[in-house]
Structure 1
Amino acid sequence: MFYRLAGVHHTRYEQARALWPVPADRWQVLVIALLALAAPFYLSDLYLGSYMLPWLIWSAGALALTLLMGMAGQLHFGFAAVMAIGAYSSIHLARLGIPFELTLVGAGLVSAVIGSLFGAAALRVKGLYLVMATLAMQYLVDWVIINVPAISGGAQATLRTPAVSFLFVPLESLTARYYLALAWVALSAVFFLNVKRTSFGRALVAIRDKDFAAAVIGVDPFRYKLMAFFTSSFMGGVTGAILAFCYYRAVTPEQFSFNVSIQLVAMVLVGGLGSVVGGFLGAGFVLLIPIMLTNFVAGLAASGWLAVSSNLLSHLPLMIYGALIIGFLLFEPLGLAKIYDNIRKYFLVWPFRHARS
């Protein structure tokens, strides 16, 4: 069995600190990386631009929010506003002639500063009060974007992205934009995997579990929560810029509404809090499952297997989708990442049912 081990025996600290100590995990990551790199060669432009590209970008957004919600335990229901700040900032910076590499950094910094300001105000409250504080950020940013023409051009205006190049490669072709999104989500995943092993990550976990106990052992909750808001908002701002330049190519206020924030929270919860795999699985579930269900139900209706009215047919995929989310939260509250981990551990110890890896 390729996945089975006769025990994990670490004799060096380098082995114990490895990201993927199981050889099968390393092979799995390598195969996925090769498939992702070769995707433009075996996928059509329709699938690459309509499925793979948005999935990668929203996975990066889910990972940015997971850093805040999964590791630091801070609820955020206004993360679409953070991405909106990054998207609009990047367009205005690019129009000023700033190189796109610096534009991404600038968009991330603008989002981080504004996100940290709201985070600092929200750090003195918890739970539902923190949710209300982040909701206030969402609605305030939406109002400013809509009512300040210098930012968005007006409530009904569409702000087109200028032509830019990344590392001297023009972002005009779909392949170039796909590889930029792939590079950013890979960098976000590697960062998230490593930050969990640093003192910063361990401090966030301590604050998430019990903030006053963390303060007793010398961890400053206010400082580390503020750092979490800054880091998460920076990643969200860069993701918003990449979303604008690589996928939308033109931004409107409706693209970063409150519904988008809810979708991001759903990606994190359904995928699994504090998990890199969960970020990818949650983004894929929220983005792709409704499309697949719609096509499946439409196919059944067209073939005569499902005799329903057109009104019910338009709502049936969303009903099934909602039932799936409720089912996951009922039977596996830890999300899709936990289901994947259970399957992985089963193969690690198979056929010894009660063995532990």
Structure 2
Amino acid sequence: MFYRLSGVHHTRYETARRLWPVPADRWQVWILLALAVAAPLYMSDLYLSSYMLPWLVWSAAALSLTLLMGVAGQLHFGFAAVMAIGAYSSIHIVRAGWPFEIALIGAGLTAAFIGCLFGAAALRVKGLYLVMATLAMQYLVDWVIINVPAISGGAQATLQTPDVTFLFVPMQSDAALYYGALLWAVIVTLLVLNIKRTSFGRALVAVRDKDYAASIIGVNSFKYKLLAFFTSSFLGGVSGAVLAFCYYQAVTPEQFGFNVSIQLVAMVLVGGLGSVIGAYLGAGFVLLAPIFLTNMVAYAAIQGWLTVSSNLLAHIPLMAYGALIIGFLLFEPLGLAKIYDNIRKYFLVWPFRHSRS
């Protein structure tokens, strides 16, 4: 069986500290990466731009929030506002004549600065009180965007993204936009994976588990909470800019409302708190499950299996979607990542008897 730990000997620190010590894990990563890179060759433009591209961008955004909620343990219910800051900042920076690469960095720094201002509340409060502070950020940013025409152009205005080039490649074709989103998703994935293995990541985990105990052993809770908000907001701001330029290509205030923040939290919770692969699974579930359920309900209605009113028919997918989320929280609170980990561990020891324990 290919999924075995035999032959994996931790005789050097380099092998022990690998991201994927098991060879089968490395094969899976390389196969998935190869499939992602070759996606424009075997996938239609519709599926590439309507499913794969948004899934990659929202997975990167979910990873940014995972760093804050899952690793650092700081609740955030206004992350869509962070992405909105990055989206609008990047558009205005490009319109000012700066290259797209600088606009991405500027969007991240702007989002990080504003995110830290509201994240400073985490230094004094936690739990539901911190949720209220981040909710205040969400509604305040929404109000500013809508009521300051210099930012959005007005409440009903649509801000078009200018044509840009990234690393001398024009970002106009579907393939170029897809590869831009893929590159950002890979960068965020590697960054979060490596942060969890550094002293910074271990300090965040200590603050998450018990900030008072972390302070006793020398971990500066003030410093690391602010760094967590800064890093997460920076990544979220860049994700918002990538979402605006690679997917939406036009930004409106409704695209970053409170419901988007709830969807991001759902991605993190359903995927699995603190899990990198869980961010991808959670984003895929939140984005694709409603579409799949809508198609199933529509097909059942066409076949005559469901004889309900059109109003109820439109709400059945949302009801089923909510029931699925509740089911995950009840029967597998650790999310989709835990289900994947259970399957993986089963194959690590299969077919021996203790694989059932």
State the TM bucket, normalised to the shorter chain: over 0.9
- Deviation of the 1:7 alpha carbon: 7.6
Matches for 1:78-97 after TM superposition, within 5 Å: 78-97=78-97
Structure 2: runs of 5+ lacking an equivalent = none
Matches for 1:233-244 after TM superposition, within 5 Å: 233-244=233-244
Q: Give, as a single letter, the amino acid of the residue that structure 1 aligns with 2:128.
A: L
Q: Which residue of 1 aligns with 2:158?
A: 158
Does 2:292 correspond to 1:319? no
User: CA 1:353/1:96 → structure 2, altered by over 3 Å: closer, same or farther?
Assistant: farther
3-state SS, counterpart of residue 64 of structure 1: helix
Q: Distance in 1 between matches of 2:51 and 2:355?
A: 39
Q: Distance in 2 between matches of 1:332 and 1:7?
A: 33
- Deviation of the 1:301 alpha carbon: 1.4
Matches for 1:266-345 after TM superposition, within 5 Å: 266-345=266-345
TM-score by length of 2: 0.98
TM-score by length of 1: 0.98
> 1:50-93 CA distances to partner (integer Å, 9 max, x unpaired)?
10010000000000000000000000000000000000000000
> 1:107-144 CA distances to partner (integer Å, 9 max, x unpaired)?
00000011011111332101000000000000000010
Q: Distance in 2 between matches of 1:283 and 1:65?
A: 12
Q: Which residue of 2 aligns with 1:250?
A: 250
Whether the 8 Å contact between 1:122 and 1:134 is mirrored in structure 2 is no
Q: Which residue of 2 aligns with 1:116?
A: 116
Which stretch has the larger CA shift, 116-125 or 178-187? 116-125
- Deviation of the 1:9 alpha carbon: 3.4
Q: Which residue of 1 aligns with 2:229?
A: 229
> 1:220-266 CA distances to partner (integer Å, 9 max, x unpaired)?
00100000000000000000000000000000000000000000000
Q: Which residue of 2 aligns with 1:349?
A: 349
Q: Give, as a single letter, the amino acid of the residue that structure 1 aligns with 2:196.
A: K
Q: Distance in 1 between matches of 2:146 and 2:28?
A: 45
Does 2:102 correspond to 1:102? yes
Whether the 8 Å contact between 1:81 and 1:256 is mirrored in structure 2 is yes
- Deviation of the 1:311 alpha carbon: 1.9
Structure 1: runs of 5+ lacking an equivalent = none
Q: Which residue of 1 aligns with 2:181?
A: 181
Q: Distance in 1 between matches of 2:122 and 2:344?
A: 39
> 1:6-47 CA distances to partner (integer Å, 9 max, x unpaired)?
485311111110101111101000110010001111111111
> 1:284-321 CA distances to partner (integer Å, 9 max, x unpaired)?
00000000110111112112233322222111111111
3-state SS, counterpart of residue 354 of structure 1: helix
Whether the 8 Å contact between 2:74 and 2:122 is mirrored in structure 1 is no
3-state SS, counterpart of residue 218 of structure 1: coil
Q: Which residue of 2 aligns with 1:167?
A: 167
Whether the 8 Å contact between 2:122 and 2:225 is mirrored in structure 1 is no
